[in-house]
Chain A
Amino acid sequence: MSGNVTIDKVLVSILQRRLKSITEEMSIAMTRTTRSPILCEAKDFVTGLYDARGNMLEQTENLPILAFSLAPVCKYIIEYYGDDIHPGDVIFHNDVFSMGNQNNDVAVYKPIFFDGELVAWAACKGHQADIGGAVQGGYNPQATEVWQEALRIPPIKVYEKGRRRKDVWDLIFANIRLDIVEEDMRAEIGSCVVGERGMLKILERYGREVFEAHKEHLFDATESMMRQEIRTIPDGVYRGESKAYYDGQNPGSEYTIRVAITVEDGRIRFDYTGTDPQTPGFVNGTFTSSASATILTFLQMVNPDMPHNQGMIRPIEITIPEGTILNAAYPAATTYGNHLCPNNADAIMRALGPVIPDRVTAEWNELLCSLTTGKDPRKEGAPFVDIGFMGMKGGSGGIYGCDGYDHIGMIDASGGVLDQDYEMFEQQTPHRLIRHEYWCDSAGAGRWRGGLGVVTEFEIGGEAVKLVTFGDGDVEPARGAQGGKEGTLNVIRLRYPDGRWYTCTTKDMVADVPAGTLYYQEAGGGGGWGDPRERPAEKVLADVRNGVVSLERARGDYGVVIDPETWTVDEAATAELRS
């Protein structure tokens, strides 16, 4: 179709910028209209545009772990409906056995027609506060199969030819606990309408033929940019391994992720053959959650200033055998799967770190998160749900030329998910915050140190409070790189009003937590990069004066001797220690 169109290279740039700005508009619409804090505060959603075949045109990736399942699902939907796709259709999807990444991440797809032809798709996917299943919020460590976790939505049309299918709509929302989910799904549809309007403007202006030809050229240009980035990695096969700890069912269980990365002629292949079998519980990845984890980790090793479209993905090939912990077979439970991203990222960083040391961070703190539900006596017993974003944000790994990022949280989001505001937290939950501070000596020492971890304490309030935890990082800390030191571990503990302490497991469900219980969480620091004795002494001094590195560690890890009376570096003693 593009045979007789002359490519206008400038138009290619303009098209890319326009597509990006449409997906940003879609994202704004979501932020402003949704009600669940997971969406409107934490921005746990992605918006995107896809061509008629489901190829990614552009995306706004607030939470990258969701981002790279949208195009595969779009392709699946196109195949599923065949010629039964019409103007005015709106399709829901969350099914993890047809390319969905997580049950709670529910997507909306809207086909875009121009001159009677299907030309593109607008899509939005957000983490919904509830999607049915045995446990409110979806995180159910006891689940062993998908039906205990969620309502499965293989693609279903909720609007057909512009008419809402009331029966279908009501069936879905009759199986979901919270009424805000219905509103938030309306917001996702609204976001797709915004995307559709933007796409139509482009098509009206340039026509289909010019659009298609320039789109292909954009894909090619982006692919060549990505291939050029990959070519800076020496050809070869690189292997890495990492462990995921505790499947939520068998204490002490361990699972190994194994990746072989082949770099050849500007292409890169990630092959997870040899990864351990899936777990009996919900600690299982899906193909797209693991593929997203792979892509987002790799994107952090290349030029960050690259358009996000199908061309970017083309040189990347991913193989994940079914039946493994990264791609569990039907009908496994998988809600935890997104959170295998940190473990998965470690395997990739361990494989490539030695090859391109200046482009790979030391390891990041792994996620450990909690969720509390209960009733708020201040609001006549109204239910509350709180995902503990505030407590979970540890540090990222240091990298050549830059310290790790403090209090950033899981690599799946890479700083895209925000804490609740402190005062809003006390309005929305009956808990009272006591402490939320940088954790001294949590960051792995290094020439560029890891990002700082955080200590959080709050007093639990309310009635019928239940606590769920999910995560990892209590066994193995974030490792350092190139001589840098490791970060600290994660832990969540409860001190009951009678003074008794309980240390939560990383996949726990604790019922009937009484008001007055102290919640204590340490989110660990990231690993350091490079020999800490090469860190400029004045930077170490600044960290010590700011109370994020102790005098002892300054001396022990960094070889810097500081006089706390005068706050000066003892140059002679330091030189001796460092020699």
Chain B
Amino acid sequence: MAYKIGIDVGGTFTDFLLTRDDGSSAIYKVLSTPKDPSIATVQGIEEMARDRGLTAEQFLSEVTTIVHGTTVTTNATLTYSGARTGLLTTRGLRDALEMRRGIREEQYNNRYPNARPVIERRLRLPVDERLGAQGEVITPLDEGSVRAAVEVLRAEGVEAVAVCFMNAYANPAHEARAAELVRELLPGAFVSVSTEVVPAIRLYDRVSTTALNAYVGPVLRRYLESLTRKLADLHYRGVLLIMASNGGVIAPEVAMDRPATTLLSGPAGGPVAGLAFSRGQGYADCITCDMGGTSFDVALVKDGKPLTTTEGDINRLRISLPMLDVVTIGAGGGSIGWIDEGGLLRMGPQSAGADPGPACYGRGGTRPTCTDADLLLGYLDPAFFAGGRIPLDVDAARRAVDEHVAGPLGLDVDAAAAGMYEVINVSMAAAVREIAVNNGYDPRDFPLVTAGGAGPNHACQIALELGIPVILVPRESSIFCAAGMLRSDLKHDFVRTYPTRLDGIDPDRFRALCREMRDQGLALLADEGIPADRVTVGLTLDLRYLRQYHEVGIEVSWDEAEACDPAAIAAKFHPQHDALYGYSLEDKGTPVELMNIRLTAIGRTDKPSLVPEPRAGEDPSPARKGVRRAYLPGERAFADVVVYDGMALRHGNRFDGPAVIEQVNTTTFVTPEFSVVVDPYGTYTLYRKEREDEILGRVLG
């Protein structure tokens, strides 16, 4: 028997999805161990082994693949506990990293402090060298200045060194030589070179990404060494892969080489999971939303591909690597409700977290949270939260809502809880709308795949707010990201900047850049054990009209790149610009400019198969647990609502809202506007009546 394990380390829980090659699966959750997250990982493995009557060694000998998502780099950056890092950069420009182009994100807030850089000024050292905008050498690299700077860094005891020079995207020679000197003079230091990390134009983006890469490098190395050692001690011989923020997975060696690719990888498994569950019903597009204890993450999948961005931020610091475009807001089960000075009700972004947690946890929390409201509205069963492991205190929830929301607003407690529920739903809906609209899509055209412990309780209201007619709640929604990790491919991104008007492009140079990146991708994937016949290559050209500042990424095939026909490429650009922004300048004959060529090399992995369940009848009554009072937002009233045991629902079961579907780690509240049908993989499909024929066709065939 062969197993695969997806492991997602979260702030509170470490989630495990164990799949077997016969398609069966099991979910595990273990309390996280923030000081060394690999401890919880091993505990989970031991628990899985125990349940199968095996030792950890015996169990692991049957495991072929472990895919692991880690937040150690994210946390190190958020808490400024990364490595002591130095920067070598072009003389005159050493403050680019800290200045961040002079933005203050809160304009009216005079107590909003300067963002703290990951490398302080005295460790940002100038080097004498200068390249022109075309990569021509204006001042040759003064190796003496590099040596002198490295001596300073050595005396300061740095563990990592970032190297980033002006215009190096057009000529990496100076950086390469400086890096060579650093490696020679400071053996053992982690060296991060901008043209290796992200060789694209825009100095601030590059220096910031390169600095972050250096800052988290030693941290990730230590962590992965600890993890691989623990697995080696248990004689694990299968494959270990690490989740990257681009939605792909990579070998640990690759991650250690480019650690910044793991920054913000926490929610990166979500879209792949969303796609896996929606694809079963024939969708190529979906929006995924994951509502945990403190945050709400939204992503969008279009034509089978999650949207990516190169403008990510962490702690107000730019990461310019391709990463999944995830909109995160501070809304979760722990979000606190409060009344502002104008008497308006607000929810979050402050969260009660896991400690003290919502008032109803009875661990000392006195502020009313979203979970308290959900409890008072009848969506949660006080005796069956986390399968009964955390008994909920209804009175404590009532007191908290009464004191902090109902009293000040002059409402009764139920109305106040309903208000809290509605306000947070509107905020989450705004986040869903943002990711769609930002990218030129209408959210109503996408099924909403909902995950996280709290998400399915709120999905209907979010969908109603936006007019989204279909919601999918996978059975594995509580360990959604772990599920996505097991379905992710190996993925490496490359970029080269080649600023030129398309009508003046040098085809040989263009092809050479494409081939260079492809060969790099093939080599990297070969090192990870992926044969060439499992590799696909995707090319995107960043194009814009002459003198525009923002580019549009246009996908081209390898053959189109080889052909390098400017007219054919421009012909793909005009309609895309029109679709996104409402106009094109094709008729005016405005020239099109190329800025960057991006290549993604994907190595296909074997995915756990989803085995369809045989179809049962429509009648859900075998899964019926009972009836309880729950609040119907549309009617503004409580009513008796049927409660189902989610694990007992079968493929083909159908019922109308209002209803509550309970599982151990998640509860789904179905409002009266929605009906439910269970698909062959156990996914609850919530739909508006007017879409019934289409949905039943998709789900029941």
Does the CB pair A422–B96 fall under 8 Å?
Answer: yes
A434-470 at interface with B (beta carbon < 8 Å): 434-438, 451, 454, 457
Partner of B93, one of A303, A403, A433: A433
Q: Which residues of A contact B549 (CB under 8 A)?
A: 35, 37, 40-41, 424
Partner of A405, one of B104, B419, B550: B104
Shortest CB distance B311–A (Å): 11
Most chain A beta-carbon contacts within 10 A, residue among B96, B203, B344: B344
Shortest CB distance A509–B (Å): 25
Q: B-facing mask of A300-318, CB < 8 A → 1, else 0?
A: 1001111100000000000
Partner of A421, one of B95, B105, B121, B204: B204
Partner of B102, one of A16, A33, A415, A428: A415
Does the CB pair B346–A424 fall under 8 Å?
Answer: no
Q: Which residues of B contact A405 (CB under 8 A)?
A: 104, 112-114
Partner of B202, one of A296, A305, A393, A424: A424
Q: Does A427 contact B (CB under 8 A)?
A: yes
Q: Does A150 contact B (CB under 8 A)?
A: no
Q: A-facing mask of B188-206, CB < 8 A → 1, else 0?
A: 0000000000000111110
Q: Which residues of B contact A407 (CB under 8 A)?
A: 95, 99, 102
Q: Which residues of A contact B343 (CB under 8 A)?
A: 9, 221, 224-225
Q: Which residues of B contact A402 (CB under 8 A)?
A: 110-113
Distance in angstroms between the alpha carbons of A421 and B204 in the assembled complex: 7
Task: Decide: A221 near B342, CB < 8 A? Known: A10-B423, A25-B437, A422-B204.
Answer: yes
Partner of A423, one of B95, B166, B419, B548: B166
Does the CB pair A416–B122 fall under 8 Å?
Answer: no
Distance in angstroms between the alpha carbons of A432 and B138 in the assembled complex: 11
A-contacting 9-mer, from B282-290, B426-434, B644-652: B426-434
Nearest residue in A to B111 (C-beta to C-beta)?
Answer: A402
Q: Does B144 contact A (CB under 8 A)?
A: no
B-contacting 9-mer, from A94-102, A238-246, A486-494, A540-548: A540-548
Distance in angstroms between the alpha carbons of A100 and B382 in the assembled complex: 59
Does the CB pair B104–A415 fall under 8 Å?
Answer: yes
Distance in angstroms between the alpha carbons of A421 and B96 in the assembled complex: 9
Q: Which residues of B contact A90 (CB under 8 A)?
A: none
Distance in angstroms between the alpha carbons of A399 and B550 in the assembled complex: 36
Distance in angstroms between the alpha carbons of A401 and B122 in the assembled complex: 25
Distance in angstroms between the alpha carbons of A276 and B201 in the assembled complex: 49
Q: Does B445 contact A (CB under 8 A)?
A: no
Q: Which residues of B contact A426 (CB under 8 A)?
A: 132-133, 167
Instruction: Report, as a range, how many residues of chain B touch the other chain.
Output: 35 or more
Q: A-facing mask of B88-120, CB < 8 A → 1, else 0?
A: 000011111011011111111111111000001
Q: B-facing mask of A412-430, CB < 8 A → 1, else 0?
A: 0111111111111011100
B304-360 at interface with A (beta carbon < 8 Å): 340-346
Q: Which residues of B contact A221 (CB under 8 A)?
A: 342-344
B402-428 at interface with A (beta carbon < 8 Å): 409, 411, 418-419, 422-423, 426-427
Does the CB pair B92–A434 fall under 8 Å?
Answer: yes
Q: Which residues of B contact A413 (CB under 8 A)?
A: 107
Task: Decide: A40 near B342, CB < 8 A? Known: A304-B108, A396-B110, A419-B101.
Answer: no
Q: Which residues of B contact A451 (CB under 8 A)?
A: 114
A23-76 at interface with B (beta carbon < 8 Å): 24-25, 28-29, 31-33, 35, 37, 40-41, 61, 64
A167-220 at interface with B (beta carbon < 8 Å): 180, 183, 186-187, 190
Q: Which residues of A contact B342 (CB under 8 A)?
A: 221-222, 224-225, 306-307
Shortest CB distance B568–A (Å): 24
Distance in angstroms between the alpha carbons of A399 and B167 in the assembled complex: 38
Partner of A305, one of B122, B340, B585: B340
Does the CB pair B107–A64 fall under 8 Å?
Answer: yes
Q: Does B499 contact A (CB under 8 A)?
A: yes
B556-590 at interface with A (beta carbon < 8 Å): 580-583, 585
Does the CB pair B340–A225 fall under 8 Å?
Answer: yes
Does the CB pair B582–A14 fall under 8 Å?
Answer: no
Q: Does A367 contact B (CB under 8 A)?
A: no
Shortest CB distance A527–B (Å): 13
Task: Decide: A33 near B340, CB < 8 A? Known: A10-B418, A304-B108.
Answer: no
Does the CB pair B106–A304 fall under 8 Å?
Answer: yes
Distance in angstroms between the alpha carbons of A306 and B418 in the assembled complex: 24
Does the CB pair B104–A408 fall under 8 Å?
Answer: yes
Q: Does B379 contact A (CB under 8 A)?
A: no
Does the CB pair B547–A35 fall under 8 Å?
Answer: yes
Nearest residue in B to A414 (C-beta to C-beta)?
Answer: B107
Nearest residue in A to B425 (C-beta to C-beta)?
Answer: A14
Q: Does A281 contact B (CB under 8 A)?
A: no
Q: Does A228 contact B (CB under 8 A)?
A: yes
Shortest CB distance A224–B (Å): 6
Does the CB pair B92–A21 fall under 8 Å?
Answer: no
Nearest residue in A to B94 (C-beta to C-beta)?
Answer: A437
Distance in angstroms between the alpha carbons of A213 and B409 in the assembled complex: 18
Q: Does B169 contact A (CB under 8 A)?
A: yes
Task: Decide: A21 near B103, CB < 8 A? Known: A10-B422, A35-B545.
Answer: no
Distance in angstroms between the alpha carbons of A221 and B345 in the assembled complex: 11
Q: Does B438 contact A (CB under 8 A)?
A: yes
Q: Does A264 contact B (CB under 8 A)?
A: no
Nearest residue in A to B582 (C-beta to C-beta)?
Answer: A190
Nearest residue in A to B93 (C-beta to C-beta)?
Answer: A436
Partner of B341, one of A296, A303, A437, A548: A303
Distance in angstroms between the alpha carbons of A305 and B339 in the assembled complex: 12
Q: Name the 5 nearest CB pairs between A and B, nearest first.
A: A415-B104, A225-B342, A10-B419, A435-B92, A546-B121
Chain A residues engaging chain B, CB cutoff 8 angstroms: 9-10, 12-14, 16-18, 21, 24-25, 28-29, 31-33, 35, 37, 40-41, 61, 64, 180, 183, 186-187, 190, 221-222, 224-225, 228-229, 296, 299-300, 303-307, 361, 389, 393, 396, 399, 401-403, 405-409, 413-424, 426-428, 432-438, 451, 454, 457, 542, 545-548
Given contacts A9-B344, A426-B167, 12 further A-B contacts (CB under 8 A): A9-B419, A17-B426, A40-B550, A300-B110, A407-B102, A415-B104, A416-B107, A422-B93, A422-B96, A438-B99, A457-B92, A546-B122
5 sampled A-B residue pairs with Cβ under 8 A:
A190-B582, A221-B343, A225-B341, A389-B102, A433-B166
